[in-house]
């Protein structure tokens, strides 16, 4: 009896192994590239963040790029580049766009990501881009405006996990201080921080406890009208902490 059970078990294991192998062969390897749309859902408002809330709360145009691990455009604990400084202080896409294009020329970045702004928060905006297996990481930022040098964004987010492209991923957008201006309120006069200090998460007023100001949702092969960030179900998405250096 035991011999028969072992024999049947071995045949079952063999069949399952064959089926799994056939499935892998049928599916084939993941494609070299993948198309994504990133939806910026800004929910920053007087209701969510009442402390010193500015009347004209908005976010600057989205700017960033796809890249590999050989280049970093910003990170918590690092010093802001000229491009990050200008973006965080004025909302300008330049010279951060030049920094990304230089990395593209060097082969460490794949393409520039440049999208619209949020003229009045809360609101939603989206931007489309393509990632490749050689450049699977994404960095995108936007200025919290008005502010001295505050911004939201992701740095080095990978869209390729477990040997395949992720279907969707949600990022909670914490408030960051670029470390280039010492102002403490949304409308503080320019107070250049010399020398610059490290980029950090803001956990004091007007953002005590580092409350998120919105989300970036990355959707692979989304519908033609991708403004549907609020339609996802929590069980279908994964959250990546943008605050991790």
pLDDT of residue 223: 58
Q: At 40, is the pLDDT very low, low, confident or very high (cuts 50, 70, 90)?
A: very high
Whether the CA torsion 36, 176, 116, 74 is positive or negative: it is negative
On the question of pLDDT at 111 being above 70, the answer is: yes
Write out pLDDT tens, residues 179-217: 999 999 999 999 999 999 999 999 999 999 899 999 999
Write out pLDDT tens, residues 9-23: 344 334 444 444 444
pLDDT of residue 243: 36
DSSP state of 186: T
Whether the CA torsion 64, 69, 75, 81 is positive or negative: it is negative
Q: Kindly report the pTM of this predicted structure.
A: 0.83
- Which range, of 108-112, 125-129, 208-212, 234-238, averages the lowest pLDDT? 234-238
Write out pLDDT tens, residues 68-88: 999 999 999 999 999 999 999
Answer left, alpha or beta for residue 186, where phi above 0 means left and psi between -120 and 50 means alpha. Answer: alpha
């Amino acid at each position: 009896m035991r011999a028969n059970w072992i024999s049947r078990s071995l045949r079952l294991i063999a069949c399952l192994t064959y089926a799994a192998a056939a499935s892998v062969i049928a599916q084939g390897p993941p494609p070299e590239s993948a198309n994504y749309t990133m939806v910026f859902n800004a929910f920053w408002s007087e209701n969510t963040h009442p402390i010193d809330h500015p009347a004209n709360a908005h976010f600057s145009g989205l700017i960033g790029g796809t890249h590999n691990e050989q280049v970093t455009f910003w990170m918590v604990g690092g010093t802001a580049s000229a491009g990050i400084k200008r973006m965080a202080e004025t909302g300008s896409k330049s010279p951060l766009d030049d920094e990304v294009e230089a990395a593209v020329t060097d082969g460490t970045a794949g393409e520039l990501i440049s999208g619209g702004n949020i003229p009045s928060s809360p609101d939603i905006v989206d931007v489309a881009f393509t990632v490749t297996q050689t450049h699977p990481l994404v960095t995108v930022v936007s200025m919290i405006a008005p502010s001295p040098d505050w911004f939201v964004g992701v740095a080095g987010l990978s869209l390729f996990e477990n040997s395949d492209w992720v279907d969707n991923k949600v990022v909670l957008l914490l408030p960051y201080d670029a470390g280039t201006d010492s102002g403490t309120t949304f409308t503080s006069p320019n107070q250049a921080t010399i020398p610059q200090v490290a980029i950090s998460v803001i956990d004091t007023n007007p953002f005590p406890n580092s409350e998120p100001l919105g989300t970036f949702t990355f959707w692979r092969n989304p519908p033609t009208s991708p403004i549907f960030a609020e339609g996802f179900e929590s069980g279908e998405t994964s959250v990546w902490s943008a605050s991790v250096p």
